[in-house]
Every structure is written in C-alpha cells, then in structure tokens.
Amino acid sequence: MKLKHQLNISFITLMFIILGLAAYVFYSLLLNMLIEDQFKELRLKGQAFVNYAKGQNDYLFDEELNRLTKVPEQAGKIEVLLVNMNDRQLMFSSLPSDVTSTFLNKLQYEPPRVLRGVWNTGQGKYVVETFRVRMNKQKLALVLATPLTGIKDLQWDIAKKLFLILAFGGILALILSTIITRRLVTPLSQVNKALKKITKRQFDDIEKVKAAGEIGEVARSVSQMSGELKQYINTQKHFFQNASHELKSPLMTIRGYAEGIKDGVFSGQEAQDGLNLIINESDRMKSLVTEMVLLAKLETDENIFHFKQVSVKEVMNEAIERLMPLINEKQKKINIHDGLGDKASDLVQADNDKLMQAFINILSNALRYAKDTINITYLTDKNNIKVEIVDDGPGISHDVLPYIFHRFIKGDKGQSGLGLAISRAIVEGCNGEIHACNQEKGGAVFTISFAKNK
C-alpha cells in the first residue's frame, strides 16, 4: 500500500476514534447539564411563585399557576402540582392523573422537601422540585415537574447539531489531511524517483524537488549527492583516460626502443642511449604507478593514517631539508614568516610522514613555477593553525584553478598531475583543509589549515 493511502487511513481512523469518544463523552454529559439547568429553571420559577403568592387573591393566583405551565425556552414543559398541606387536598394539577396520584401519595406521608430530584413514577421520569407556599394562612406544597423525555428530546436536538458540526469538521479535516499528505508524500515520491535515476546514472534527468523542512533537507542532500556522484564518475572516467594516456606514452617509447635495439636498428651509442631512455621511462612509470596506488589507498583505506601529535613547523622544516638540493639547484630562496608567536602551539593531530609528503608535493610545485622566492607563513586564530605557501610565479591558470586538486590536472610545467591530488587527500585525511588561489600581483597561494590540538 502506498504511503499516502496509509497516512490517510491512519488519520481518518484516528480522527473517527477521537471524534467518536468526544461525541460519546459530550452526549453523556449533556443530559446531566440539561437536567441541572432545568433544576435551576424550576427553582427560579418556583421561588418567583412563592414570592408572588404572598397576599394574592385566588384569581391572580390561578393566573400565575397557568403561567407556570407555559413551555420555557430551555427544556420541556413544566407541569404543576399544588397541594394544600393542611388537609392534604389537591388544589391544582397539570400532570397526568397517574403521576398526580404518585406525587400526592408521597406528599401524604413525607415532608415536601423530600420530593426533589429525578423521580421515576412508573409512567415516566420527571425532574422534580418542591416548594412550600404560604397564602392567606394556608400551607401549600408546590411541585414543579418536567418530563425527562422533553429534556432528552432537547438533548438529541443539540446532539444532532453537534454531530453535524463534527461531521463537517471531519470532512474539512479529511480534506486538509489529503492536502497535507499530498504535500508530504509528493516530494518523497519525487525523491524516490530521483534515487532510482541515480541508480541508473541518469544524473541529467534529475529534477529539483521543491519541499520545505526535513523533506526539503533530504531532497537537497539527494541533489547534492547526485552532483557529487556525477562528478565522481566523471572524475573516474577522466582518471582512467588520463592514466591510460600517461602509461601508454612511456610504454610506447619503451617498446619502440626495445624493438629497435632487438632488430639492430640502434647500435653502439644509440643503443646505449636507448637503454638509458628505457630505464628512465621505466622509473617514470614506476613513480606514476606508485603515486596512483598511494592516492587510491589514501581515498579508500581509513587505516592508512597513523595519527599522533605533530608540530607543523617541524614537519615543514624537514620537508624543506629534503628539498634543499633541488632548492639550491634552482637557486630559489625560501622565506619563513612565523605569525604564531612564541607561546602559540603549532601541535596538531596528523600522520607525520604523510603530512611531510603533502608539504613536499606543494613545495615542489612552488619550486617549478617560482621566479625567485617562496614565502611560507604560519598563522593562527582561535581554533585553527594555517600554513600559507606563496610563490612569485605566474600563478595558476584560471581554467585549471577550479580543478587544481583533481587527478592528472597539470600546468605547463607539471609532471604526473597526481602530486596536488595526493596532497589534498593527505590533508583532508588528517582532518584539515586545503585551498588554492592566485595573488592579485601574480603567484599561486596554497593555504592549509588544521584544527588546534586541544
């Protein structure tokens, strides 16, 4: 069963249970409320009659009795029974004879105050209230009674109106439930379709899902995942294409010289040069394959990193020392600017050897493009330690800059195109960040940041 049908059925069931319980409780309490209101009405009219009866003549007294029997607005008809308590004689009754006899017999042996409440006379239930009346030195008992059937009829009339209101509210709630469910389920269905397209790698066919709240966040996450998967797959394609190209070129060179030497095309010094070229190309292939394997491990093997507390300055100094022959050969100058201060700590959690490899790769890249100088600056803020490596070269091409850390992306003087990709994998594997940009006056800037060791 589809989710929207499950939600609708669940909501309708819950709504009917709640409305049913509410209607049952209200219907049960409504009768008590109406009876209590009727008691109040009887007391008001009875007390008004008692006050009116004092000092009145018989003619006006009969008029007041007739007025009492008129139907009030709140409930059913009020029936009147008037008994002379001096001789227990019936003076007036608008009740049926059987009911009159029941109440009259009760008043023969009981004081008037006993005849109160809801009474079952055998011919029906009545809401009864009794009053003592004094008129012209006579002691009278006034009994006001309302048939319970009238109150129940009023209860049913009110209940029918209530049920109509509840039914209308239920229909309105059902319509709102359908609209809300559709607003919830439709984006989920669209997300589901997008996920199915992702499994089929139909990334260009994925439409943007319009939704708010948590579902909107899920939709945006799916869209972001789709873009990253598309980029990853494209990167993989380019990786294999570039890898095959990078490996194919030295293999063709090796094969060409090997066949030439074998067939006698090259001899003497030419053969010796060919063998040297084969060795150099083999070394280049070995280095390339080693870097490819390292990059694959960095991106897939979480256990390749061995974290410990390391000093960023010490790792950088060791990387500079290892590159010192190349620095001297190229006659470049390295300036170090320490913005950390004497008391600031430069300790971070990282893999010492791999972090040094990342620094070596970035410094080697800077040495290839720098004219004269490379500036290394250490900076700090509240939470991070930053290292900036800046050269005074021409900078990174604007076409290459967005993809500078991708595999096999090389500048004019680049080598394998894997060095910066490896550096990024190492830095990110050590929970750091790396960014590249150009200075306004030229020269590339590589910024590496790590969280401070707390």
Q: Are residues 131 and 37 in the same domain?
A: yes
Please state, in angstroms and rounded to a whole number, the distance separating the CA atoms of residues 94 and 101.
12
51 within some domain: yes
Write down the H helix ranges in 54-147.
58-68, 97-109
pLDDT digits (tens, 9 = 90+) for 133-177: 877 777 888 888 888 887 777 778 887 887 788 788 778 877 877
Q: Which residues contact 121 (CB under 8 A, 6 or more apart)?
A: 98, 99, 102, 103
330 lies in the same domain as 439 = yes
CATH of the domain at 272: 1.10.287.130
Q: Are residues 362 and 327 in the same domain?
A: yes
Q: 97 and 217: one domain?
A: no
Question: Which of 349, 343, 269, 256 minimizes the C-alpha distance to 305?
Answer: 349
Does residue 188 lie within any of the structural domains? no
Q: What digits encode the pLDDT tens for the residues 206-225?
A: 777 776 677 777 777 777 77
What's the mean pLDDT in 308-333?
90
Q: How confident is the model at residue 55 (pLDDT cuts 50, 70, 90)?
A: low
What angle separates helix 352-369 from helix 419-429, to the nearest 10 degrees? 140
Domain span at residue 376 reads: 305-451
User: pLDDT (tens digit, 9 = 90+) per residue, 168-201?
Assistant: 877 887 787 777 777 777 777 777 787 787 787 7
> What is the CA 364 to chain-centroid distance, rounded?
47
Provide the number of structural domains found in the chain.
Answer: 3
Residues in the chain: 454
Tell whether pTM > 0.85.
no
Are 274 and 333 in a shared domain?
no
CA distances from 396 to 40, 161, 366 (A): 94, 79, 11
Q: In terms of pLDDT, which residue wins out, 85 or 363?
A: 363
How are beta strands 138-147 and 125-135 bridged, if at all?
Answer: antiparallel
Indicate if 313 and 288 belong to the same structural domain: no
277 and 327 both lie in a single domain:
no
- Single out the residue in 129, 155, 181 at which a domain terminates: 155
Distance, in Å, from the CA atom of 85 to the CA atom of 107, rounded to the nearest integer, reads 8
Within 13 Å, how many C-alpha atoms sit on residue 344's CB side?
Answer: 17
Whether 9 and 141 share a structural domain: yes
Look at strands 384-391 and 444-451 and give their pairing. antiparallel
Given 155, 178, 202, the domain boundary residue is 155
| Contact (CB, 8 A) for 355 and 430 | yes
Same domain, residue pair 262 and 316: no
Q: Which of 267, 300, 333 is a domain's end point?
A: 300
Residue 288 sits in the same domain as residue 309: no
Based on the fold, state whether residues 320 and 287 are members of the same structural domain.
no
**Residue 208 placed within a domain:** no
